[in-house]
Structures are given as structure tokens and as C-alpha cells.
Amino acid sequence: MAQPVLPEPAFPDLDSMLSRKFGKEVANYFSGSPLNRVSFLRSDHAFLSAALRHPSTSLLLLNNLNPLAKDPSNLEYVSYKDVTLLIGDDPYSKTEAQMISEYDSTITIPQLLFLGLDERNKQGLTYNIYTGSPYFALDVTPKGTITAQARSLIQAMQSRGLTFLEGRIQASLPAQDAAIYAQGRALLDWNARNPFCGQCGQPTLSINGGTKRTCPPSDMSSLKGAIGGNVGSAPTERPDCATRKGISNLCFPRTDPTVIMAVVSSDGKRVLIGRQKRWPAYWYSTLAGFVEPAESAEEAVRREVWEESGVKLGRVVIHSTQPWPYPANLMIGAIAQCIPGGEEIVLKHDPELEDARWAELDEVREALRVGTSALGESAQEGYKEGNLRLPGKTAIANQLLAAVVAGFVGQSPKI
């Protein structure tokens, strides 16, 4: 399958002191969304109500986090009228305060996310000083009290010849659609993983356009804290919860920082690559690992490389970043260089890698030309079996290696 074109960075042709010094900004796959998130409007239910029902509005449906699509390269967006069977006429008819006061844990509320406005459409919704086509994401996974409605909606979409794309990673979408999908998937996944309060264990309610969860002080269910309890005539006060006090009184979506690095030898002529046992033959990539608490990204790069390969690093430079919605990572791409004498590979510390080795720049350059693809897919025409394989352009590892062979570590490095 052909690899999609990567997104353009913001203002790619703008001349500035920073661009002259550091070069053109790098944008990675799953970034480059065309939407203005207008996050300050997420609690404004008058805005959300108008946005949801506007004729220019697009909704992305996800079933078990699989997006609705025409084919693997084309998402399918639906309209408000297509989903009223599941969400009702206006899920934003009440304020957040009313929703919290009337919370009933026995009722499954369809998870709806406001993603943002596409301001390129000047004929879209106008609200105060903002104009654009609204975008939402909706979880249509059959569950709880909305199982029948969700199944009916799924069947209606399938009757149109549409499908929900299965597979762990969707890396064949056009760049802007990929960014919209990534935002929707990450937030729906987070909501699904956090149905209960981390402090008191009570069921939580999604608010703020789907980007926060709160622990309501009462529940219309007569059985305290239990989903599926009997409905009472008056709300039952729930046990006291620390999340309802002080400043940090809400649960926010998490983003897990992860470092991924192209490591260059001290003489600048080789690159460190590694492979896991489960990968296809000849397939290698850059090293990567999670940032730990109270650790800088640069420290994480040095620690992870030493733990996985035994190689010791000196200078670390941040190159670019990539949102990775599986489930909620921010890949912090770095380029680092070994200290003199620190290039010996030792795999006895952390058993994560099956192999690690140094590759000459020419070998990496050739692999980037004809040996890249998504994991498990075929390489490009011209690839010779047995030669090095590398991740495709949708992976930040590809961008990091391409920067190295293009001279990033030279006299005048440019990102």
C-alpha cells in the first residue's frame, strides 16, 4: 500500500530567524490537524448544541475505536441526522451543572467529543467571532443501555457499504484525516478507560465536550456508586471525594511522553539501530522508551539507550514530536551522539531488544529509499531480500533517520 503524504508544518514558507537557524519545522503523521480546537468553548453548551446540529457539521463514528470509512484510505463522516437515534435530539440541551446534579449511573450516555472547527469553510457555523465547520467524534460501540441503538446505527452504516476499519494502527489515511482520527481515538479511548473515579471508585461523568471527567456528588440511582442500581426518586448523596475539593477537582486526559532517538556514532558515520524478536526478518528501527517521573527528555534518551544497548551518549537534541494515539503517547523525537569510547553494544541489561547494531549511513540511506513500509508490509520496488528494512514515513523513526543521513549532525545542522 502506498505511504500517505506527510502533513505540512505550520507556515512552511515563512522566513524567520528561527527557520534560518534551525531549518524548516518537521511535522509528523497524526499531527497537522486542520481543526481549531477552540478548547475554551467546550463548556459552552449553547455553542456545542448549535455546532452539533449545524448543516456543515461532520461526525466521525468509531466502533471499538475503529473508524468508519469507505476504504482504508478514506474516512466517512456522517451528519447530525444520521446519529439522532443514538444521541437524541440535543445532548447539550442541559448545562454541565444540570447534568452533574441529575447524574444517574444506571443510564449509559453516548460518548460524544467536540473536536474543533475547520475554519477554512467560511460558510460554516458562526458563533461570536468564530466561524468554521464543526467536527465531532462519537463512540458507537454497543454497551449498557444504548446497546440496541448503537447496533442499529452500525447496521445502518454497513447497509451503505461502509465499514469500520479494523487493525491496531491506521497509517494509510490522508494526513489531515489521520490527525482528526487520532484526536478522536485518543479521547474516546481515555474516556472508556476511566469510567470510575481514581480517588473514591465511584462512576464518573464525561463533561467539557468529552475532554474531562468529573465525580458527581450525587447519583439518581438508589444503590450508591453502582452502575445498574435501582433508580430513586431523589438523588443519593455519594461518599465524600477529594476530587471535589481544591483546584485539581477533575480528571483530565493523559498523555504519556515517550522518547525515540536516532543515535549517531562519535565520528558521525554510523547510526545505532535495534530490533525486537517479534519483528519481520531484517527489520530494524531506532530505539525508544518511556520518560519516567522527574526525568527530562534528554535524560530519558541517555538512560533508555544505555539500558537497551549499553551505548553511552553525550549531547541530545530534540528534533520533532509525534502524537501517537495507541493509546495516548507523545513521541519526543531526538538525535543523540555517542561519547568517544561509548559505542560498545551490550544487550545484557534490558532484554527488550533481540539485536542492536551500528549501520553505515549509506546502508540506512538505501533502506530509506527502497526498504520502508508499515510493519509486515512489502518494501518498495528495487528492494533486495536480505537488506535492511526500516519503518515507513508515517513513523517518526523514519524522519529521524532521514535527518541523520541528510547531514543533521554536520557543521550546519538543519532540522
Residue 318 C-alpha cell reads as 530534540
Q: Is the peptide bond between 293 and the residue preceding it cis, with omega within 30 degrees of 0? A: no
111-157, pLDDT tens digit by residue?
Answer: 999 999 999 999 999 999 999 999 999 999 999 999 999 999 999 99
pLDDT of residue 246: 73
DSSP H/E element including 347: none
- The closest of 391, 209, 133 to 283, measured between CA atoms, is 391
What's the gap between Cα 344 and its chain centre? 35
8-59, pLDDT tens digit by residue?
Answer: 999 999 999 998 888 889 999 999 999 999 999 999 999 999 999 999 999 9
pLDDT of residue 101: 94
DSSP H/E element including 177: helix 175-193
130-139/58-63 β-pairing: parallel
Q: What is the pLDDT along the chain (415 residues), one digit of tens a residue?
A: 678 999 999 999 999 999 888 888 999 999 999 999 999 999 999 999 999 999 999 999 999 999 999 999 999 999 999 999 999 999 999 999 999 999 999 999 999 999 999 999 999 999 999 999 999 999 999 999 999 999 999 999 999 999 999 987 889 999 999 999 999 999 999 999 999 998 899 999 999 999 999 999 999 986 544 444 455 567 899 999 988 887 666 788 999 999 999 999 999 999 999 999 999 999 999 999 999 999 999 999 999 999 999 999 999 999 999 999 999 999 999 999 999 999 999 999 999 999 999 999 999 999 999 999 988 888 989 999 999 999 999 999 999 999 999 988 875 555 4
Helix axis angle, 361-370 to 396-405, nearest 10°: 130
pLDDT of residue 356: 98
Residues for the chain: how many in total?
A: 415
Residue in the block written with cell 480528571: 251
pLDDT of residue 231: 52
* SS3 category, 137: strand
What's the gap between Cα 21 and its chain centre? 30
Distance CA 184, CA 208 (A): 14
Distance CA 293, CA 295 (A): 5
DSSP 8-state assignment for residue 253: -
Spell 50-69 as b/e; 16+ CB within 10 A means b: bbbbbebbbbbbbbebbbbb
- The closest of 396, 333, 394 to 181, measured between CA atoms, is 394
